[in-house]
Structure 1
Amino acid sequence: MPRAGLSRAAVTAVALDLVDAGGAAGFDRLTLAAVASSAGVAVPSLYKHVASLDDLRRLVATESVAELTRMLAAATIGRSGGDALHAAADAMRAFAHAHPGRYAATQVAPRLGDDADAELAQRAAEALAVLTAALRAFDLPEDSTVDALRMLRSAIHGFVTLELGGGFGLPDDLDRSYRFLMDGVLRGIESLTPA
């Protein structure tokens, strides 16, 4: 019989807390043993709620992407163009700082066409829809939208990964450098707009 209060959602919540407690590497280090220990149960008890570590990692990724999407939507509502992109970028960076393990989980790409990843794919599509809407004001050619999204995500991810990992050792203001980066990304996206 499952432990009172333990459910699929409760197991996921424990795992979400653990991945953040583990910092940027928390998602990679997630184990069923750690979740069981934190929940006060034996590992076999978890199998009443999750099928495997892969299943639990998928649940963590799905919830993390959904949470990030809510933050992106709240940050960009009523904004457009460069203002929307800056707000989205700031929201992603803030999410990474507040939830480093969950942020790492958002980098998991769903396997398209795999039924097990269907919900993760749906949440990822919702996140991309928010970012795509922020790009609409640029009137990009349709085939450039994916390039612009990849450029935006890569720039933010690279900066945040270095920042969280202590990769910026110089005493200069990181926020200033971040704004400089995002202004450059914005100019790059603007260059994709047909003349």
Structure 2
Amino acid sequence: MPTPDRTSLAEIVATAQDIAEEEGLANLTMQAVAVRVGVRAPSLYKRVRNRDDLVRLVAEATVRELGEQLDAVAVGGDARTDLAGLCRAFRAFAHRRPAGYHLVFAGPAASRPAVTSLATAATAVLRVAGALAGPDDALEAARTITAWAHGFVGMELAGAFNLGGDVERAFEYGVARLADALARA
């Protein structure tokens, strides 16, 4: 009779996400995951090819989670309100999952999420961008939104705002100016 499964792929990936956030990506190993889920490391290879595959699965799960959070705040109301909600959710996500955020936006090419996963996660951003800038400019506007938010959040996570002032105020100012810039004349 086969041995019953003592873990699942979902549990393995969630545990790997936790390790990456708590201990850093460098400490995300098959052994560390195995210890936390209560199996021997060789058992993980039934579900995950190797560490690189595990890191890719973490990136996929992270971008899926980000997309779900963006979808939850961009409900199709006023485009400016939705843009502010998207930017705030993006920022909050990066603060809550900085290792995963880094993996999705700046991780090794082999570990980055599939283009289809990124496209799914970008659905709300594309929708809001199209509402602001018009359907013909939706992709360019979505890229502008993402680039601004990523730049701001990246500097914030790196502690690079060194000139004083209120970073919250600066963020809200940027969101408002971004909406102004993208809005159709």
TM range (shorter): 0.7 to 0.9
Q: For 2:121, which of 124, 127, 137 is the aligned residue?
A: 127
Q: Distance in 2 between matches of 1:169 and 1:50?
A: 42
Q: Does 1:167 align with 2:160?
A: yes
1:83-162 to 2 correspondence within 5 Å? 83-107=81-105, 120-140=114-134, 142=136, 144-162=137-155
TM-score (ref. length: structure 1): 0.79
Alpha-carbon offset, residue 78 of structure 1:
3.9
1:144-178 Cα offsets, whole Å, 9 max, x none, are 32221111111111111121222223442110011
Contact 2:127/2:138 (<8 A) preserved = no
Of residues 153-162 and 33-42 in structure 1, the stretch that sits farther from structure 2 once superposed is 33-42
Q: Distance in 1 between matches of 2:52 and 2:81?
A: 38
Alpha-carbon offset, residue 3 of structure 1:
8.1
Q: Distance in 1 between matches of 2:66 and 2:168?
A: 21
Q: For 1:31, which of 17, 29, 47 is the aligned residue?
A: 29
Q: Distance in 2 between matches of 1:2 and 1:165?
A: 47
Number of aligned residue pairs: give it: 183
1:59-94 Cα offsets, whole Å, 9 max, x none, are 111111111111111111142321111110001011
CA RMSD of aligned residues (A): 2.9
Contact 2:133/2:141 (<8 A) preserved = no
1:80-133 Cα offsets, whole Å, 9 max, x none, are 321111110001011111121222233269x8xxxxx8x843332222211111
TM-score (ref. length: structure 2): 0.82
Contact 1:20/1:100 (<8 A) preserved = yes
1:14-25 to 2 correspondence within 5 Å? 14-22=15-23
Question: Which of 1 and 2 has higher RCO (CA within 8 Å, sep 6+)?
Answer: 1
Gapped runs of 5+ residues in structure 1? 112-116
Alpha-carbon offset, residue 27 of structure 1:
4.1
Counterpart code for 1:85? L
Contact 1:19/1:30 (<8 A) preserved = yes
Distance 1:36 1:2, change over 3 A: farther
Alpha-carbon offset, residue 2 of structure 1:
7.2
Identical positions, percent: 33
Contact 1:2/1:45 (<8 A) preserved = no
Q: Distance in 2 between matches of 1:72 and 1:80?
A: 15
